[in-house]
Structure 1
Amino acid sequence: MVGIRKWIRSKLDSTAHGKGRRQGQAMRDDLPFLPLSRPRGLTPVPSSQDIANRSQSFYNYGLFRHLPYELRRQILINAFGGQTLHLDLTYARPLVRKLTSMDLSNGIERAHYGLGSELVVNMSRSEGWQWFSCVCHRRLGYSESEIDERHTANKFYQTIEPCDDQCLKGLMCDNGQCGSACFVGTMGWILACRQAYVDGIEILYSTNTFHISSMDIVSNIPRLLPHSRLSSITSLELLWQLNSFQFSKGAIEDFIEPLWKDPTKQDSMLHTLCAMIPDTFPHVRRLYISFQCELVPPSDIRDNDNISKVESIFLGPVEQMLRILGPGRGKQFNVAIQRGGWYTMLWKYYTLLGTRLRAESSDGLMRGKFWKSLCPSGNNDQDVRGDYGYWICAGWWDMDAITYDHWIMSNWGCKWVGPTDTF
């Protein structure tokens, strides 16, 4: 059996490098899309045939078949629900598990999900599209010693936001959270039997928060995952890299500048993403979107109120999307932009609303969020403090190397805030 596997693998690898195969970037474009039609569904739908097969399905469920659905559901939520999960798709060589003799009980720090130690790149395999998922171990903030070190380096914000997440680089794990806790751990369960799959897959998608930073997934997700699964997702964290910025790994197509050149465009990548979300995730109740990109206007079209243009051009399509999703009890929508722009926009709304502005921060407005109403008027206390709106959040930190005055005066305009203004 081992020999057969090795022979098949060698043939697959040789085919991947063989004559007639497209190479380079052209080959990379072949995303692992779902087939146009599926021969059969794994999840049964209510029907006479389903009712006839249900007794056999539950018989294969073992002792679990004797438990009521509510109890089964709670057990599965405790097992692999209620977490934040990273969903990633990269074009690279696959990772392979490596046996290690490292003593993990001696306090030696290691990477999240064992990257580089237990999981290493398989150099014997060719590059291809690789799905990957792990549990997010992002902390909410820094320790006191870390805060002191950051102050020395002139970094004063104290929170760790979804836009800062580095789990996929293996950088977020505490020693106590390493090992099997880094992985979702659902595969064995959902492969056990059909009823285990039915119960488990519903818990997996509907009770977890999915953190997606890959633009390959974000822009193509309706063709990568079944709609029935996506429609059950209730919590999302999306990072939109719409141009190259200081934390980009490489060159990224610029989807921002064309909107600055023609703000009336309706067919941009931003508009496509905003139109996709209500159709793909109709039951989402918690949504965090971070613009992981430079929203600064080109120098030839800047004026003293650039931040209002940012709000109209880039937050406008997002607000239209949020209106389609609609208000509802328990819904929470958050949109993050780079910190320099956020601070200027905060000042704009403080100037307009004064003490009626709802703002929250745990580090003296180094970072934070403020509320923007989506009510029709938005000019009275009831609207401003109502539940129909979203939080505008401070996103990626863009002020390390450039002075405060430069950001206020040059990039965002000085209509709403000057270099000496403070709260």
Structure 2
Amino acid sequence: MPRTFVHTPTPLLRPHPTATFQTTHHEHGEAFQAQVQRTRVVSIGIGISDSTCEINGDIFNRWKLPTPPPEQRVRKIGARGRNSQEQSIFFRLPVEVRRLIYIELMGDRRVHIRYVWKKPSPFRPQPIQSGPRWDWWHCVCDRSNNFPEDPYFDRCPDWECEKELNVRSPKINGVEWLRSCQLGYEEALEILYKANVFAMDRALDTPFLISRLMSRHCASNITLMDISFPVDVGIGGRGYNESDWMSTYTAFFKLFGETFHGVRRLRLQLQMPPWEVFCEAFNEQRVDLIRSFLEPFDTLSGGREWTRLLLCVPYDWRERLEKFKESMPCQDKWEITETMWSPRGILNCVGMST
């Protein structure tokens, strides 16, 4: 039997509409403002700015993201001693067969993932200290094993819904096994990160947090990502700072060169304000702002060979953005696709994520 390996690093994942809504421009604007107020992230957000992070910090401190020390993040997977597992029947199987087993256990899935400030899960053993804390949450998507045609139709529950309804969302099975066997950990970890689509939604902060928490080796193994967040520009409201948001948006694309440099298929869904609201004061400044949505994406497309690179926007934005795309130097390397997402649609689905 495999030898227990207590000190193996913990894996990232822990087991356990467009034509139907008749609304005014004003109602659309208010609906979108309400949604963005709940998910607003600026450059000083927890986990985005360096000043909001603390190495080996307290998981019970809401205002500091607890991050691992730099030397831990660069540690190589095979740096620890391991048992050859000569007595294990499993490791006598051909490596190709073991790989198929790993894929069946923990691959070929679409996985929603967040690192959040939340109450302890009711489905995990009672912790020594109770109360809210920083913790991982993940859910295997009910549209797993692919990129759904439109993320609008993805209605998986989030961590709040899981707690309130006392219903455990589907998890990846077999991940805890990685903590018990170093050889299995080394073989299967690549499958975990390369063979799954990682979906991140609700806010722009998740990719930043994960880039600070995940080892560089694991981050570089991620090949498929599906990211969605509200676009916090052109709508005003409490706490609004357009330049802060655009700085964070630009920094987001740099993560793919610094951390997620193995990603080969990416869909980015922008939850845009209604075009009618955005263009009420349309002028040259607004033209520059629209171009600034596309330029980082176009630059990213020219940095590597992509299997597919998609920018997903609401129906009333697509045609207008396509015109701006025509002037981009790498326009042939990426696509603009349409989503049925709308502010009213998201507000009609309380506790659910798009």
| TM-score after normalising by structure 2 | 0.64
The residue number in structure 2 matching 1:93 is 119
Quick one: structure 1 residues 309 and 334, their matched pair in 2 at CA, closer, same or farther if it must change by over 3 Å?
same
1:243 to 228, 232, 241: 232
How far off is 1:90 after superposition?
A: 2.0
Instruction: Give me the whole-angstrom Cα distance separating, in 2, the residues matched to 1:270 and 1:319.
Output: 14
Distance 2:296 2:258 in 1: 15
State the one-letter code of the partner of 2:209: N
Aligned equivalents of 1:172, 1:96: Cα separation in 2 = 12
Which residue in 2 is equivalent to 1:30?
A: 64
Unaligned runs of 5+ in 1: 1-25, 99-118, 141-158, 174-178, 261-266, 350-370, 379-387, 402-423
Corresponding residue for 2:51? Answer: none
Aligned equivalents of 2:291, 2:98: Cα separation in 1? 47
The whole-number CA distance in structure 2 between the counterparts of 1:90 and 1:166 is 19
Greater relative contact order (Cα 8 A, min sep 6): structure 1 or 2?
Answer: 2
| Contact kept in structure 2, 1:243 and 1:253, CA below 8 Å | no
Distance in 2 separating the partners of 1:278 and 1:169: 29
Q: 1:76 to 1:392 in 2, by over 3 A?
A: same
Q: Counterparts in 2 of 1:349-360, with a 5 A limit?
A: none
1:179-328 mapped onto 2 (5 Å cutoff): 182-213=170-201, 214-243=203-232, 254=240, 257-258=242-243, 268-294=247-273, 301-303=281-283, 309=288, 311-324=290-303, 326-328=304-306
1:74-85 correspondence to structure 2 within 5 Å: 74-85=100-111
CA contact (8 A) 1:374 1:390 kept: no
Deviation at 1:184, TM superposition (A): 0.3
For 1:252 and 1:232, the matched residues in 2 are separated by 39
Please give the alpha-carbon distance, in whole angstroms, between the structure 2 residues aligned to 1:271 and 1:244.
13
| Rounded Cα–Cα distance in structure 1 between residues aligned with 2:295 and 2:224 | 22
Aligned-pair identity (%)? 21
Amino acid at match of 1:209: V
Question: 1 CA distance for matches of 2:74 and 2:205?
Answer: 27
Structure exhibiting the larger radius of gyration computed from Cα positions = 1
- Asked if the contact 1:372/1:390 (under 8 Å) is kept, the reply is no
Q: Could you list the per-position Cα deviations for residues 86-133 of structure 1 after superposition, in whole angstroms to 9, with x for gaps in the alignment?
A: 1112212111129xxxxxxxxxxxxxxxxxxxx9x99x9311112111
Q: Find the aligned partners of 2:92 and 2:335 in 1 and give their Cα distance.
A: 45
Counterparts in 2 of 1:373 and 1:71: CA distance versus 1, 3 Å: farther
* C-alpha distance 58-240 of structure 1, shift in aligned 2 (>3 A): same
Give the C-alpha shift of residue 313 in structure 1.
1.4
Structure-1 residue corresponding to 2:141: 136
How large is the Cα RMSD of the aligned pairs? 4.2
Note the residue ranges of structure 2 that are not aligned, 5 or more in a row: 1-59, 346-354
**Within 2, Cα distance between the matches of 1:304 and 1:188?**
55
The answer as to 2:28 corresponding to 1:43 is no
Q: Deviations over 1:218-265 (max 9, x none)?
A: 22322111111010111001113342899xxxx89646x3389xxxxx
The SS at the match of 1:231 is: helix
Q: Give yes or no for the alignment of 1:58 onto 2:85.
A: yes
Q: How many residues align?
A: 276
**1:207 deviation in Å?**
0.8
Q: Deviations over 1:276-326 (max 9, x none)?
A: 1122111211101111243757667404996x64541111111112211x2
Deviation by residue 1:13-58 (Cα, 9 ceiling, x = unmatched): xxxxxxxxxxxxx94221131223339957214xxxx7xx56x333
- Alignment of 1:394 with 2:338, yes or no, is yes
The 2-side partners of 1:245 and 1:220 are apart by 26
* Structure 2 match to 1:111: none
Residue of structure 2 in register with 1:342 after alignment: 318
Name the CA distance, whole Å, in 1 between partners of 2:157 and 2:290. Answer: 31
Change in CA separation of 1:396 and 1:28 when aligned onto 2, cut-off 3 Å: farther
Q: Any conservation in 2 of the 1:89–1:129 contact (CA below 8 Å)?
A: yes
